[in-house]
Amino acid sequence: MTWGMMMNETTLTSRSELLWRDATQLIPGGVNSPVRAFRAVGGTPVFFERATGPYLFDVDGRRYVDYIGAWGPMILGHANPAVREALHRAVDGGTVFGAPTSAEVDLARLIHEIMPGLEQVRLVNSGTEATMSALRLARAHTGRDRIIKFSGCYHGHADLLLVQAGSGVATLGLPDSPGVPAGVTANTLGATFNNPDSVRQMFDQYGTSIAAVIVEPVVGNSGTIAPADGFLQFLRDITRAHGALLVFDEVMTGFRVALGGAQARYGVTPDITCLGKIVGGGVPVGAYGGAATIMQQVAPAGPMYQAGTLSGNCLATAAGIATLQALRQPGFYEHLEALGARLEAGLLKAARVAGVTVCINRVGSMLTVFFTDGPVTDWPSADRSNRTAFGQFFHDMLSRGFYLPPAQFEAWFISASHTAADIDATCEAAADAFAELKRFT
């Protein structure tokens, strides 16, 4: 007897509800990543079965305009033909060998050509692996133990980084995670994004023991927050002055806010860059890289150990190469920028007409609608957002066929497959949702 047969199916109104009942019995919290559970907005999560371009189709046959984009990697849209073809070819030849392949070299070369600061690249399997490995490398290279991270920035679920974390940790209101020993996070220092004084204070007190500063150069895990003018250069200067390394977590922003990532958009080159999401074209992947003098610490070239059975597998490299080649086409980012600006302007107009107070932050094709009067420049200012208002807005948009991140503190992502008509339809739906929200507040 299946789990579904054990439930009272007569009380269920959709396949999503039936699947949710089964999932909560079989999977912790019913999901394989916390933010999917709708805890921040209430209600039953939607289960999907296919996607194409900018559209998701749920198990009950409904279509949604998608602004999650698998949390960032689907910059070309879902089921992109070039990526699909590359994956088909890769599957025909075998999925993973546990041995070197030419595709690994080709992907590393592409990354280096697009991000010259990554003279050498190590492929891994997730963003968490990339950031965890990058900080181990920073400690190995400097011989120091402490790192600085910023409140509201999420760098994966490695023990040392679950301190003042954003993303699902902020969404669920978790202070830090049980199971993380105090000793593991004792060397993780917290600072405030866009606040140079908070960083200076750390270096004044702990300067000779700080191995690295890790930062999302555009924060995406407290919602979208841009760096203040000069802030990233300040981090570059102060780390260099104190002999520490600067680590950019570009898992989200890499190839998203510009072809060369945030480091190209803002003209600041870190010592180590962490990548994920887009670099694998929608297949699980991660990467970290930097100057050869630093990367030569990584085994087997050096003593800093890191390994992975599936690292550089045939599917991830094939999808990644096809995606990065597409991103290099002339006019690609100008098109994304225009779509982002159109959506931002339309949402602002809709909120203004309805008399709803919002602050919209956008960098390229990343955007967040904060239900606060703003400005939102760091985690404390993001945290003032009205979560209840966001939850109502989310469900109103969902009922109209628009799938937004089910949490206030996440970024929306626009793909190249979205059309001007999709954007305009989104803004029209938002106008109705804002008006409905105003009616009940």
Q: Report, as residue numbers or ranges, the catalytic residues.
A: 154, 249, 277
Q: How far apart are CA 392 and CA 124, in angstroms?
A: 39
Phi, psi of 150 (to 5 degrees): -115, 140
Q: How far apart are CA 282 and CA 415, in angstroms?
A: 13
Q: How far apart are CA 62 and CA 60, in angstroms?
A: 6
Whether 379 and 171 have beta carbons less than 8 Å apart is answered as no
Burial code of 88-117, b = ≥16 C-beta within 10 A, e = fewer?
eebeeeeeeeeeebebbebbbebbeebbeb
The total of other beta-carbon atoms located within 10 Å of residue 240's CB is: 12
Q: Where are the alpha helices (DSSP H) in 57-195?
A: 81-93, 102-114, 127-142, 167-172, 182-185
Cα distances from 391 to residues 42, 89, 113, 408, in angstroms, run 7, 43, 42, 8
Cα distances from 159 to residues 132, 154, 156, 306, in angstroms, run 9, 12, 9, 16
Query: CA-based diameter of the chain, in Å?
Result: 67
Whether 113 and 100 have beta carbons less than 8 Å apart is answered as no
Q: How far apart are CA 322 and CA 287, in angstroms?
A: 16
Location of structure tokens 């948009």? 397
Identity of residue 229: D
Two structure tokens written together for 350: 């809709």
Whether 106 and 316 have beta carbons less than 8 Å apart is answered as no
Q: List Cβ neighbours of 36 (8 Å cut-off, separation of 6 or more).
A: 45, 406
Two structure tokens written together for 227: 């760096």
